[in-house]
A and B are shown apart, each in its own frame.
Chain A
Amino acid sequence: MDVTTWLRAQWDRVAAWLMIAGGVISLLVGWWGVSHTAYLAEQMPYLVSAGMFGLFLLGLGATTWLSADLRDEWRKLDEVAELLRERP
């Protein structure tokens, strides 16, 4: 299977990994911003934006990954149903 076919078949897992990577990067940016100032008023926007957006992306990535698993299971059930249908 070439890369294009694999990407087309597993687009949701690729998207999940991208979102998880984006979430981690966002959390790192938030940590970097918070650690470069001693003022709470300057730290708070980093917490709300980068920190929470990172959590949002991590949750979305995990959900997308689990959705891909459910989709695979659904297709496997399709195959089982088809085998049962063809059974004499």
Chain B
Amino acid sequence: MSRPVGPDPGRQPYPWVVPDLFRWFFLLGLSAVGLVVAWWGASGTADTGTQITWLNIGVASIVVGGLGNMTWLLQGRRAVALRRRDLLTGLTGDVAPRVSTARRPAETRVAVPGGTRHHRPDCVAVTGKTVTRGSTAKHEKAGRRPCGLCSGG
């Protein structure tokens, strides 16, 4: 049975929410006002030193606008990434058990008497040896650990 994944009822239609929009507009507005003020200041004087000051205000305004754009895009990217992760998590939840059972048809493990590891029956480490069969739990109870060759551990 598949896990419910995807948009909840009433989920937002865009990667952003209204506060993100307000923050973006606020910083853009601040930037635009700063540019107008800088232009007004720079055009109202012939003194180069004073104009440089207004130029700096203009540069600062551009930086503020850039920050607004950057936070807007980062917020959008983060929302998309989280959404993608949610979907993949839902998929993994569905697929993982099937993969697990397909790759491990039986829980039977084998061990050499007196050995400290338990193995898959087809493990090369026990090929041609006399082994005892049992469940993983049984071998673990006997103090054996999974074989590093066939169990990846």
Contacts and interface: CB of A to CB of B under 8 A. Distances in A.
Interface in B51-96: 51, 54-55, 58-59, 61-62, 65-66, 69, 72-73, 76-77, 79-80, 83-84, 87, 90-91
Interface of B: 2, 4-7, 13-15, 28, 31-32, 35, 38-39, 42-43, 45-48, 51, 54-55, 58-59, 61-62, 65-66, 69, 72-73, 76-77, 79-80, 83-84, 87, 90-91
Interface of A: 40-41, 44-45, 47-49, 52-53, 55-56, 59-60, 62-63, 66-67, 70-71, 73-74, 77-78, 80-82, 84-85, 87-88
Contacts of A40: 48, 51
Which of A45, A47, A78 lies at the interface centre, i.e. has the most chain B CB atoms within 10 A of its CB? A45
A81 B6 CA distance: 4
Given A41-B46, A80-B87, A48 B55 contact: yes
